Chain A
């Protein structure tokens, strides 16, 4: 069986999300965006959160990273409660979030400077990661000169240069055309399986089940209004995976039936 429902992972836990609720007050009503969300992320895992738009997965991601706080429940990182921005995580954004007046080099440098990393080490890291994501030659380009795929590569370089333990990604490929996203997905997976990433685990949010099954070891399926986790599945297809493979399509169909 390539899909398992129980989690029998014996590795240490990196992240624990415990009974998280997130509600918003709007005018006179309460909107429950997340309801009783609980799951754990272990070391060496690539986890995907899948769900339709509006199911709160982006909100959940922001709570995990520390940009937002749960109304109830808590998030533990390596056993300690998350208070404010968690420096062990990094986030890649759907719309890239690059600063338009800084060059590629300067965009990647920004976070390193803020952490007080010295000039020599900064240069080493920036050069290293720009090469790894395929942007060497583009150091002095401005975001407006770059295609969507290249902009996202800067986003990756920026995140990875900080050497995060947990890499979080918010629909990183959905603003890109199918060819470019295919390319980027493959490259990311290549780095991940080749253990070339400084990260221990990856958490990705997406609305595409195919993408989730393609990329991850584990898929968490979320429902919407309110957002809760309805399935926690392990994907045990060997890598490299092929989205156009019959075996792959079978699993996609299985997952769809599980949801309904």
Chain B
């Protein structure tokens, strides 16, 4: 009981510190560089734009990997900082990409004085924020689930530090990371538009890429161009799936600890990569790489497992002290300024926030129920055969990557046009950003039901609704919860594109916290207000996660877990 209170208290304190620090960094330092010209919208530019977007996504992905491994490793191996690091990660995951706009603009756009390179870096970092956290969690989970005996064996052999990292930690993480990378890329594509059009208040910068092309096409009402760019996006996704994700997933199976003898055939592209790996060029490349890393690995630390706290040298101690002092200073100033500028904001705005959160939560709940209804039967259908699964997987990924904006014309013309209500459109748009996560997880859950259980049910003649109620749903309950948590997270993020619909220079909005955040960013450019909206959203997400979803998850773990 005591530990629980400490945990909550830690999270809340960390939360406020992060907010205040953020404000201290943001405030009054925002210069708005000149408006950049809009990009040409023509068919022949599509290949170039595709390459640009691909470049940004790849750079962001590499950054995500570097971050994830470092962060997750540090968190998982130090029980003392583990709690705080996870709390921070939780918060970061709940902040929608717009929340990072001010920070990113301040740092990078200003740094390069409005030059293109600054905006590019800003864009890459923004994409990073929609990819990274997922992967970080999966690296963390994989470190935690390494079998105890294997960890002991490795420790006993004296493998420590970097050597242990490369021989044990990295390979153990591969199955989960590969799977989550697919999801991360889908998430990245989904928010690409928000990351290629960087706009705060009067500042407006369009980077050449598929995302901004789509936006501009829709703005101008050029559906043909929008469709063409969507086609380009989908092609990229399919090509990536067959060339990269599919063979990679097959290869990743060899790193699993559960000795499941897989009878599946390696995909064609896997053989292709095997051939490449056997060429002379590749072996030269890998031996070169090995020679680079070798000196790092030979840093042999005496096989020792120390239990006493590490003693810091004087230099380390003073550095840490300075860092702490600066952060404390920044936090205090941040709190003060936050308070004073909050007083400046019109009170009516502040009052709207709780109502907005409630409205959005209502929409998300509605979308969630709709997703549940169709994803569960679909998951059962897809998971029933491996062939079906490998057929649908790229399709699901493609669907999950389609940015909400692609649906705007449809939404405006048919949904809003007929019903006159933006709410329904908003709910449907929320679906596009959340239901796929639920589906992904449910497929995994259905697959994991032990065959004996399925066979036993068959033999006993348990069918239909009874089968669903007594066997299927309890069996997939853990995956259902994990999927729901991710789906809700995606939904909150999607609010910024679901409650703010632009089409042919007209704006259609639904009142909610997403709407307020967009308003604060695009119309007001008021940092304090942005932060306030972010804070309310994050706080809500964290509270719901903790008091509802975590409880459900514990219930799932207790009651519905299968003994291996």
Q: Which chain B residues (239-272) contact chain A, with CB distance < 8 Å?
A: 254-257, 259, 261
Q: Which chain B residues (194-220) contact chain A, with CB distance < 8 Å?
A: none
Write the nearest CB–CB distance from A147 to chain B, whole angstroms.
Answer: 11
> Looking across the interface, which residue of chain A has its beta carbon closest to that of B171?
A101
Contacts of A42 in B (CB 8 A): none
A204 to B259, CA, bound (A): 27
B300 CB–A CB distance under 8 Å:
yes
A198 to B71, CA, bound (A): 42
Q: Is the CB of A111 within 8 A of B149?
A: no
> Looking across the interface, which residue of chain A has its beta carbon closest to that of B259?
A144
The number of chain B residues with a CB under 8 A from chain A is 28
Q: Interface 1/0s, chain A 212-243, versus B by CB < 8 A?
A: 00000000000000000000000000000000
Q: Interface 1/0s, chain B 142-180, versus A by CB < 8 A?
A: 000001011011111111000100011001000000000
Write the nearest CB–CB distance from B362 to chain A, whole angstroms.
Answer: 39
A83 CB–B CB distance under 8 Å:
yes
Tell me whether A94 and B303 are in contact in the complex, defined as CB-CB below 8 angstroms, given that A100-B254, A114-B157, A144-B261 are known contacts: no
A244 to B304, CA, bound (A): 45
Q: Is the CB of A100 within 8 A of B159?
A: no
Contacts of B303 in A (CB 8 A): 84-85, 87, 114
Q: Is the CB of A97 within 8 A of B254?
A: no
A158 to B156, CA, bound (A): 11
Q: Which chain A residues (69-113) contact chain B, with CB distance < 8 Å?
A: 69, 83-85, 87, 89-91, 93-101, 110-111
Q: Interface 1/0s, chain B 115-157, versus A by CB < 8 A?
A: 0000000000000000000000000000000010110111111
A115 to B156, CA, bound (A): 11
B547 CB–A CB distance under 8 Å:
no
Partner of B156, one of A91, A96, A101: A91
A162 to B159, CA, bound (A): 13
A31 CB–B CB distance under 8 Å:
no
Contacts of A89 in B (CB 8 A): 156
B287 CB–A CB distance under 8 Å:
no
Tell me whether A115 and B305 are in contact in the complex, defined as CB-CB below 8 angstroms, given that A100-B254, A144-B259 are known contacts: no
Write the nearest CB–CB distance from B266 to chain A, whole angstroms.
Answer: 15
Tell me whether A110 and B155 are in contact in the complex, defined as CB-CB below 8 angstroms, given that A84-B305, A101-B171 are known contacts: no
A96 to B152, CA, bound (A): 11
Q: Is the CB of B255 within 8 A of A94?
A: no
A158 to B147, CA, bound (A): 18
A141 CB–B CB distance under 8 Å:
no
> Looking across the interface, which residue of chain A has its beta carbon closest to that of B3?
A27
Q: Is the CB of B300 within 8 A of A93?
A: no
A69 to B307, CA, bound (A): 8
Q: Is the CB of B304 within 8 A of A99?
A: no
Q: Is the CB of A83 within 8 A of B304?
A: yes
Write the nearest CB–CB distance from B235 to chain A, whole angstroms.
Answer: 33
B455 CB–A CB distance under 8 Å:
no
B306 CB–A CB distance under 8 Å:
yes
A69 to B306, CA, bound (A): 10
A116 to B159, CA, bound (A): 11
Tell me whether A67 and B158 are in contact in the complex, defined as CB-CB below 8 angstroms, given that A100-B255, A101-B171, A144-B259 are known contacts: no
> Looking across the interface, which residue of chain A has its beta carbon closest to that of B257?
A100
Write the nearest CB–CB distance from A221 to chain B, whole angstroms.
Answer: 25
Q: Is the CB of A90 within 8 A of B156?
A: yes
A49 to B150, CA, bound (A): 23
A85 to B254, CA, bound (A): 30
A143 CB–B CB distance under 8 Å:
yes
Partner of A115, one of B147, B153, B158, B306: B158
Q: Is the CB of B155 within 8 A of A85?
A: yes
Q: Is the CB of B306 within 8 A of A84?
A: yes
Contacts of A116 in B (CB 8 A): 298, 300
Contacts of B155 in A (CB 8 A): 67, 85
Partner of A100, one of B156, B259, B300: B259
Tell me whether A91 and B171 are in contact in the complex, defined as CB-CB below 8 angstroms, given that A84-B303, A116-B300 are known contacts: no
Q: Is the CB of B167 within 8 A of A91?
A: no
Write the nearest CB–CB distance from B5 to chain A, whole angstroms.
Answer: 14
Write the nearest CB–CB distance from B162 to chain A, whole angstroms.
Answer: 12
Contacts of A93 in B (CB 8 A): 149, 152-153
Q: Is the CB of A100 within 8 A of B256?
A: yes
> Looking across the interface, which residue of chain A has its beta carbon closest to that of B305?
A84
Write the nearest CB–CB distance from B283 to chain A, whole angstroms.
Answer: 18
Partner of A114, one of B150, B158, B255: B158
Write the nearest CB–CB distance from B304 to chain A, whole angstroms.
Answer: 4
A65 to B159, CA, bound (A): 15
Q: Is the CB of A143 within 8 A of B259?
A: yes
Write the nearest CB–CB distance from A215 to chain B, whole angstroms.
Answer: 22
A207 CB–B CB distance under 8 Å:
no
A94 to B168, CA, bound (A): 20
Contacts of A67 in B (CB 8 A): 152, 155-156, 305
Partner of A65, one of B156, B255, B300: B156
A206 to B305, CA, bound (A): 26
Contacts of A101 in B (CB 8 A): 171, 254-255
A13 CB–B CB distance under 8 Å:
no
Contacts of B150 in A (CB 8 A): 97-99
Q: Is the CB of A97 within 8 A of B157?
A: no
Q: Is the CB of A62 within 8 A of B257?
A: no
A52 CB–B CB distance under 8 Å:
no
Q: Which residues of B contact A (CB under 8 A)?
A: 147, 149-150, 152-159, 163, 167-168, 171, 254-257, 259, 261, 298, 300, 303-307
Q: 27 A–B contact pairs at CB < 8 A?
A: A66-B156, A66-B305, A67-B305, A69-B307, A83-B304, A85-B156, A85-B303, A87-B158, A87-B303, A93-B149, A93-B153, A95-B149, A97-B149, A99-B150, A99-B154, A99-B167, A100-B257, A101-B171, A111-B157, A111-B159, A114-B159, A114-B300, A115-B158, A116-B300, A143-B259, A144-B261, A158-B157
Instruction: List 15 additional contacts besides A100-B259, A111-B156; criterion CB under 8 Å.
Output: A65-B156, A66-B156, A69-B307, A89-B156, A90-B156, A91-B153, A98-B150, A99-B150, A99-B168, A100-B256, A101-B171, A110-B154, A114-B159, A114-B163, A114-B300
Q: Can you list the 8 inter-chain pairs with the closest CB atoms, starting with the nearest?
A: A111-B157, A97-B149, A84-B304, A97-B153, A114-B158, A85-B303, A114-B159, A84-B305
Q: Which residues of A contact B (CB under 8 A)?
A: 62, 65-67, 69, 83-85, 87, 89-91, 93-101, 110-111, 114-116, 142-144, 158, 162
